[in-house]
Amino acid sequence: MSAAPAGRGVSDLSSAHRANRKLTHQAGANFSVGFRFLPKQRRQAVYAAYAWCRAADDAVDEGDPAGAPERLDAWARELDAVYGGSPSSPAGIALAEALPRFPIPKGAFEGLLAGCRQDLVTSRYATFDELLGYCDLVASTISTISLAIFGGLGDERAEARGRELATALQLTNIVRDVGEDVARGRVYLPLEDLDRFGAREEDLLALRATPALGEVVRYEARRAIGFFRAAEPVKELVDRDCRFAVTMMGGIYAEVARDVLAHPLDTLRRRIALSTPRKVRAVLVRLLDRRFDRVSD
């Protein structure tokens, strides 16, 4: 999707759905495994929400950095248009159609935009608590959007566990994308944890694969796994026809965290991704054992 909203010739809802589905399967290969198990209307709503969130994220990460605030402003205006009934982007068109069935609070998307804006001004986190504050902007967004579609929004237990799952997903993204984030000038690994293991920021910025950096990445991957375990109950708190999709959303990402745990320094030079056979195996395993995390300590 383009960094700023545009109709791109999308004149009907079916075209918007196709565009959102294509983007989600291409850009969100891990998320989309679970989405395939959703009923059609929920699946279309999730594709639209993912496409909108991805576009906002790309507004920061792609294109001239100096233009990022303006691109985010454009997506904020598109959000107003979605809730006002006059969107122009494929994601916005499909979202507006889904809102009567799945009343996603506008504030959820506004929270994501706030997290994106934070990326423009904050490139280091001194402590894990500071990083969690950033994650919560994103986690609250993803949890609220997901529960509005899957069921569970308004249930305190579902919302608490949903935030833990979303935090686990975000922490997994962080340990998966260490090298990519450094290339963008960002370090999400808490500086206090670099100190804890005797790792040097200059080694990280140079992408030098030192044992100390490997220990830091493993430490954060274990934290992600802890959040996956805490989030386990959420899959029983959503609507029945969404439970396996939620299991897969957490389960696939837990597999990624498992790979990071096994090969922490690989994240300095490449994004760890699951092969298609690994994803198929994950689906089959969780048909029998529906835990997010099957990773041993």
Q: For the domain that residue 212 is a member of, what is the CATH number? A: 1.10.600.10
Same domain, 19 and 32: yes
pLDDT at 8: 45
CA distances from 52 to 10, 150, 176, 231 (A): 15, 18, 22, 25
Range of the structural domain that residue 130 is part of: 122-297
Domain edge (last residue) among 120, 147, 162? 120
Q: What is the pLDDT of residues 139-192, one digit of tens each?
A: 788 999 999 999 999 999 999 999 999 999 999 999 999 999 999 999 999 999
Residue 292 has pLDDT above 90, yes or no: no
Look-up: residue for tokens 């989600």?
24
Same domain, 126 and 248: yes
Asked whether 48 and 18 are in contact (CB, 8 A), the reply is no
pLDDT at 9: 44
Same domain, 204 and 246: yes
Residue 1 has pLDDT above 50, yes or no: no
Count: domains in the chain = 2
Q: Is residue 283 part of a domain?
A: yes
Mean pLDDT is highest, among 1-10, 173-182, 265-274, for: 173-182
Cα separation of 79 and 110, whole Å? Answer: 8
Q: Mark out the alpha helices in the chain (DSSP H runs).
A: 13-27, 29-35, 40-61, 68-84, 90-98, 106-121, 128-150, 156-176, 178-183, 191-196, 201-205, 211-231, 243-262, 276-288
Q: Is residue 66 part of a domain?
A: yes
pLDDT at 274: 84
Domain edge (last residue) among 96, 120, 144? 120
**In a 3-state reduction of DSSP, which class is residue 292?**
coil
Q: Is residue 254 part of a domain?
A: yes
Residue 205 has pLDDT above 70, yes or no: yes
Q: Is residue 4 part of a domain?
A: no
Residue 132 has pLDDT above 90, yes or no: yes
pLDDT at 79: 97
pLDDT at 285: 80
pLDDT at 38: 95
Q: Is residue 2 part of a domain?
A: no
Same domain, 285 and 173: yes
Average pLDDT of the residues of the chain: 91
More confident residue, 9 or 288: 288
Cα separation of 19 and 51, whole Å? Answer: 9
pTM for this entry = 0.90
pLDDT at 136: 87
Same domain, 99 and 186: no
Of the pLDDT bands very low, low, confident and very high (cuts 50, 70, 90), residue 284 is: confident
Q: What is the pLDDT of residues 88-109, one digit of tens each?
A: 999 999 999 999 999 999 999 9
Same domain, 159 and 232: yes
Same domain, 97 and 128: no
Domain edge (last residue) among 120, 145, 163? 120
Of the pLDDT bands very low, low, confident and very high (cuts 50, 70, 90), residue 281 is: confident
pLDDT at 123: 94
Same domain, 277 and 139: yes
Same domain, 290 and 175: yes
Same domain, 132 and 244: yes
pLDDT at 4: 53
Of the pLDDT bands very low, low, confident and very high (cuts 50, 70, 90), residue 59 is: very high
